[in-house]
A and B are shown apart, each in its own frame.
Chain A
Amino acid sequence: MNTTVPLPVRQRVIVALAADDAFELFTRGIARWWPFGGHSCSGDAALDVVFEPRVGGAVTEIARGGAKHPWGRLTAWSPPDHFRMTWHPGQDPAAATVLSVRFAAVEGGCEVAIEHGGWEALGERADEARADYDGGWAFVLGRFAATVTGGAS
Chain B
Amino acid sequence: MKRNTVAAFSAFSAFSALADPTREAIVRLLLDGERSVGEIAERLPVTRPAVSKHLRLLEGAGIVRFESVGTRNVYSLDPAALEVLRDEVDALWKRALARYALVANNSAPKKGNRR
The DSSP consensus for interface residues of chain A is mixed
**Contacts known (A15-B105, A34-B96); A138 close to B24, Cβ less than 8 A:** yes
Q: Which of B65-90 contact A (CB under 8 A)?
A: 77, 79, 81-83, 85-86, 88-90
Q: Which of A97-153 contact B (CB under 8 A)?
A: 108-109, 112, 114, 116, 119, 134-138, 140-142, 144-145, 147-149, 153
Task: Give the residues in chain B near A149, CB-CB below 8 Å.
Answer: 12, 15-16, 19
* A6 to B, closest residue via Cβ: B86
Size range of the chain B interface in the assembly: 35 or more
- Are the C-beta atoms of A11 and B92 separated by less than 8 Å? no
Tell me whether B108 is interfacial, beta carbon within 8 Å.
Answer: yes
- Are the C-beta atoms of B108 and A32 separated by less than 8 Å? no
CA distance A16 to B14 in the complex (A): 35
- Are the C-beta atoms of A25 and B103 separated by less than 8 Å? yes
- Are the C-beta atoms of A33 and B99 separated by less than 8 Å? yes
CA distance A17 to B35 in the complex (A): 55
Interface size on A, residues (CB 8 A): 45
Q: Which of A4, A16, A34, A116 contacts B89 (CB 8 A)?
A: A116
- Are the C-beta atoms of A2 and B79 separated by less than 8 Å? yes
- Are the C-beta atoms of A114 and B31 separated by less than 8 Å? no
Task: Give the residues in chain A near B28, CB-CB below 8 Å.
Answer: 134-135, 137-138
CA distance A116 to B89 in the complex (A): 8
- Are the C-beta atoms of A32 and B115 separated by less than 8 Å? no
Give residues in A with beta carbon < 8 Å to B. 1-7, 9, 11, 13-17, 21-22, 25-26, 29, 32-35, 38-39, 108-109, 112, 114, 116, 119, 134-138, 140-142, 144-145, 147-149, 153
Closest 10 pairs (CB-CB, A-B)? A15-B104, A6-B86, A16-B108, A33-B103, A33-B99, A138-B27, A145-B15, A33-B100, A13-B97, A149-B15
